């Protein structure tokens, strides 16, 4: 398809959005928000590595080098992942906060740039000009709050994971299974909650990818145990298996309404079973749609690409606890569907708009204000709050399921992914 002419209006609007985004990022880095939140968690983990207190990695109450810890939030990464945070421990907390936010910003912008550049040819083949796709991409990214909520909590490892997932998409789609597996194992080492994405992808990808994941996982585990000892790994396993259900104000999972009923309406196993059933049903629908449609896609590269987009969405849908920033990985399938927007029907376009528009439900400042002032902790309250809170994930799940026919048609007629 010939290159479409630029749209001057979209170009001017895009430049304005980029300026506004740049100003917002500078302010977000400069404002010292989040010192007692997630930043303290990562700073303390890095400080413990520097201080040689590896055994205390999962004890958030111990002093570090005789001084009170920055915060008391638990660390949920694997032991070896804390080594990546050691540079923070060499800095003062104030300097480390700025450095961590700068690193987050660099990882986030690089991931978004790769996604944009990768999907730009897709947009052209779909009949969307570069000017319009750039504008739509910027609008969607800015509205999608899970990408930006990390600044309120002082920074997170999630932007680095987001970059890892984007790189793994490129390698997996092109058939470089070992590189993709190594990247994803590194991602899971930093934040084990995302192991469900890797599990679904392994189920869909075939034996070559499974063997690559197994090899990389065993190598990473052996390295971690040999360098850090078994004792801290035992503490890690005890730590992550003790995680309990989280209230709606800190959870955006598909089953948060049922999990919160368990907390406020009596701790009945039926509520937990309902939550599990909702998550399993969502993942099953996505996987079934992929398996049914993938057989009709001629290109092996396109089959791998669709499998990856499905695994990302289904993996998040399966998570029992989804912090707001976890949803940032959903921008990977969202960016691709934006690129093929002219090939979608109105219901799917509305769902894309819904995912972006309801991103505000992941804004930490707004969520905490609602939690403090509206006190939605009775049975009707947790049901309504839970459904609204999981809206972006719910819409994304329905969207990826609904576009199965358009995906088959587009893969087979567009000449690439």
For 84-109, write each residue's pLDDT tens digit: 999 998 999 999 999 999 999 999 99
Q: What is the pLDDT of the chain when averaged over all its residues?
A: 90
Task: State the Cα–Cα distance between residues 8 and 15, nearest whole angstrom.
Answer: 11
Q: What is the pLDDT of residue 94?
A: 92
- Residue 181's nearest CA partner among 210, 143, 156 is 210
Which of 61-70, 71-80, 308-317 is predicted most confidently? 308-317
pLDDT at residue 327 tops 80: yes
- How far are the Cα atoms of 193, 200, 315, 318, 404 from residue 196, in angstroms, in the given order? 7, 6, 5, 7, 22
For 70-86, write each residue's pLDDT tens digit: 877 788 888 999 999 99
Q: What is the pLDDT of residue 2?
A: 60
Provide the CA 50 distance to its chain's centre, in angstroms: 28
Per-residue pLDDT band for 258 (boundaries 50, 70, 90) equals confident
Q: What is the pLDDT of residue 365?
A: 79
DSSP state of 64: B
pTM score of the predicted model: 0.94
Q: Is the dihedral of CA 250, 256, 262, 264 positive or negative?
A: positive
Which range, of 43-52, 338-347, 369-378, 380-389, averages the lowest pLDDT? 369-378
Per-residue pLDDT band for 245 (boundaries 50, 70, 90) equals low
More confident residue, 414 or 194: 194
Structure tokens of 294? 């993938």
């Amino acid at each position: 398809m010939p290159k479409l002419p630029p749209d001057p209006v979209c170009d001017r609007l895009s430049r304005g959005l980029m300026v506004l985004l740049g100003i917002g990022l500078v302010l977000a880095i400069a404002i010292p928000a989040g010192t007692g939140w997630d930043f303290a968690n990562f700073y303390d983990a890095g400080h413990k590595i520097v201080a040689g207190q590896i055994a205390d990695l999962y004890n958030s109450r111990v002093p570090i080098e005789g001084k009170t810890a920055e915060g008391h939030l638990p660390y949920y990464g694997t032991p070896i992942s804390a080594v990546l945070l050691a540079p923070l421990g060499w800095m003062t907390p104030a300097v480390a906060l700025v450095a961590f936010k700068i690193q987050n910003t660099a990882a986030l912008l690089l991931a978004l740039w790769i996604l944009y550049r990768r999907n730009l040819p897709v947009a052209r083949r779909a009949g969307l000009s570069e000017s319009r796709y750039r504008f739509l991409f910027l609008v969607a990214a800015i509205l999608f709050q899970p990408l930006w909520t990390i600044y309120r909590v002082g920074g997170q490892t999630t932007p680095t994971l987001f970059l890892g997932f984007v790189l793994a998409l490129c390698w997996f789609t092109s058939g470089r299974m070992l590189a993709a597996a190594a990247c994803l194992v590194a991602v899971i080492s930093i934040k084990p909650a995302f192991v469900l994405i890797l599990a679904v992808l392994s189920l869909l990808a075939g034996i070559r990818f499974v063997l690559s994941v197994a090899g990389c996982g065993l190598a990473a585990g052996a390295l971690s145990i040999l360098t850090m000892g078994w004792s801290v790994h035992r503490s890690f396993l005890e730590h992550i298996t003790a995680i309990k259900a989280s209230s709606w104000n800190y959870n955006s999972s598909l089953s948060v309404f049922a999990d919160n009923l368990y907390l406020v309406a009596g701790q009945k196993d039926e509520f937990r079973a309902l939550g599990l059933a909702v998550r399993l049903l969502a993942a099953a629908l996505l996987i079934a749609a992929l398996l049914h449609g993938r057989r009709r896609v001629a290109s092996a590269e396109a089959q791998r690409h669709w499998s990856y987009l499905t695994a990302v969405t289904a993996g998040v849908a399966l998570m029992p606890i989804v912090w707001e920033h976890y949803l940032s990985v959903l921008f990977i399938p969202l960016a691709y569907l934006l690129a093929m927007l002219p090939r979608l029907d109105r219901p799917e376009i509305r769902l894309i708009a819904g995912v972006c528009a309801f991103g505000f439900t992941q804004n930490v400042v707004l969520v905490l204000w609602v939690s403090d002032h509206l006190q939605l902790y009775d049975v009707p309250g947790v049901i309504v709050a839970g459904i609204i809170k999981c809206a972006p994930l719910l819409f994304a799940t329905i969207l990826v399921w609904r576009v199965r026919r358009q995906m088959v048609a587009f893969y087979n007629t567009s000449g690439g992914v």
